[in-house]
Amino acid sequence: MRHKKRGKAAKKARAATATQAREEAFAKAPHTFVFQRGKVGRNIRQLVIDMRKVFEPYTATKLRVTKSNSLRDLVEAAGVLHVTHLLALTKTELSPYLRVMRSPRGPTLTFRILEYCLSRDVVSSLRRPNVEQSVYQTPPLLVMNNLSGESLDKKLMSTMFQNMLPSIDVNKVKLSSMRRTLLITYDKETKTLEMRHYLIRVTPTGIKKTTRKLLRPKLPNLGGYQGIEEFVEKGGNASESEGEFDGPHNQVVLPQEVRGRGNVKATQSAIRLKEVGPRLKMQLVKIEEGLGEGAVLHHEFVTKTPEEQQNLKAMLEKKRQLKEKRKREQLQNIRKKQDKKETLKKKSLEGMKKKLQTQKKEENADVSSDDDAAYFKEEVGKEPDEGTLPGKRKRPSPTQRKQGQPANKKKRRKL
């Protein structure tokens, strides 16, 4: 029995449901702002662009921050756009710094950048420097090494990095969507972090290099060979630098079909990484409460006594109370201005109302006098003279009012 085809309405409803689900997932995912503050130079500006590439698609790739934009402006914009983390790159005479802030209440992690390498420098050293732009349509897979521990700094760093990228559901994830990885390694001896960015490539194992070339969409040039057999036999002896590193450490059995020819489900393939940059080597300097304005929870180089910590907390508390007091005063001043504005508005409305009532009274008086004149004309047969009817007087002109002279009266006609 043939199945009945779906109608256009059913297809549209299904597409709308899928679009709504994607939008909800996009809104729930963590988003980032990457920007520079102050004078940083050309290389740091390029590093900002490279860092935005790492966190695509959940980042603002065309974000423009001017001198007039404060951190508070960015936090307000972040709340509207579902942005959860702010990454600010600055530069001093000593070295560049990276501040990672959790919006809107912190904490703030400050890293000193010891070494960095831009993406263009990393890609230029590759044998095949071309990078597909479609790989940036899905977020990278986060891999952390040596960041597990009981210390406060390691816990906060690990939590911060994990929350910067969307979590993965092992039961629902599609392997074809995992095309990049972000590797963060912590060195316990030097207390430094190294960040590397790689592309993930999956290639079938047990196949010669020449055979894989035949599986590509673009076939190789076979003009110098008598037949396909000669190409496979002679080409198989060619060296392959990538294949030398294949082994049990990177060979897996695919549970799903993956992008690339020959990557079939339940077959063995090799996972290879291709670095695209940027590279960062940095050291944690301090951890602060809030967005860089609270108490210092951890400092790598400065250790304070309990008395100094208590004094610092008291100073911060005093500063916070003063800020709240000023805020209350500002709100009171705003209320006073609004009340004054409302009072003036009521007075002006009352004046306008009185003016309208006066105009209506004058109009009613004019209408009654016109009615008397019409009755007089109907009974007598001519227009009444001035002064004959009460209230029918000629109003003085504005010039006469100004000079204080009475209006000229016409002479009465004798009946």
Q: How many whole angstroms separate alpha carbon 4 and alpha carbon 10?
A: 12
pLDDT of residue 88: 96
Is the separation of the CB atoms in 137 and 55 below 8 Å? Answer: no
Q: What is the pLDDT of residue 236?
A: 46
Dihedral sign from CA coordinates of 25, 26, 28, 29? positive
Residue 247 DSSP SS3: coil
Q: Whole-angstrom Cα distance, residue 276 to residue 241? A: 18
Q: Other CB atoms closer than 10 Å to residue 372's CB: what's the count? A: 15
Helix (H, G, I), strand (E, B) or coil at 21: helix
| 291 contacts 101 by C-beta, under 8 angstroms | yes
Report DSSP letters for 320-331, one per residue. HHHHHHHHHHHH
One-letter amino acid of 130: N
For 72, residues 6+ apart whose C-beta sits below 8 A from its C-beta are none
End-to-end CA distance of the chain: 113
CB atoms within 10 A of CB 328: 10
From the list 360, 364, 367, 410, the residue with the least C-alpha distance to 385 is 410
Q: Compute the distance between CA of residue 6 and CA of residue 172 in angstroms, rounded to an integer.
A: 27
Judging by beta carbons within 10 Å of its beta carbon (0-12, 13-18, 19+), is residue 283 exposed, middle or buried? middle
Distance, CA of 35 to CA of 37 (rounded, Å): 7
Q: What CATH number should be reported for the domain whose range is 20-205+246-303?
A: 3.40.50.10480
Q: Judge contact between 167 and 140, C-beta under 8 A.
A: no
- Global pTM? 0.69
* pLDDT digit string, tens, across residues 306-344: 787 788 778 878 888 888 899 899 999 999 999 999 999
Q: Quickly count: other Cβ atoms within 10 Å of residue 26's Cβ.
A: 13
Residue 240 pLDDT: 40
The amino acid sitting at 149 is G
Task: Give dist(CA 51, CA 59) in Å, integer.
Answer: 10
Q: Find where tokens 């508070």 sit.
A: 72
C-alpha triplet 324, 325, 328: angle, nearest 5°: 85
Which segments in the chain show pLDDT lower than 50?
236-244, 392, 415
Q: Which residues face 96 on adjacent strands?
A: 91
Sequence ranges of the domains in the chain: 20-205+246-303
Structure tokens at 411: 């002479």
Question: Are the C-beta atoms of residues 316 and 324 closer than 8 Å to each other?
Answer: no
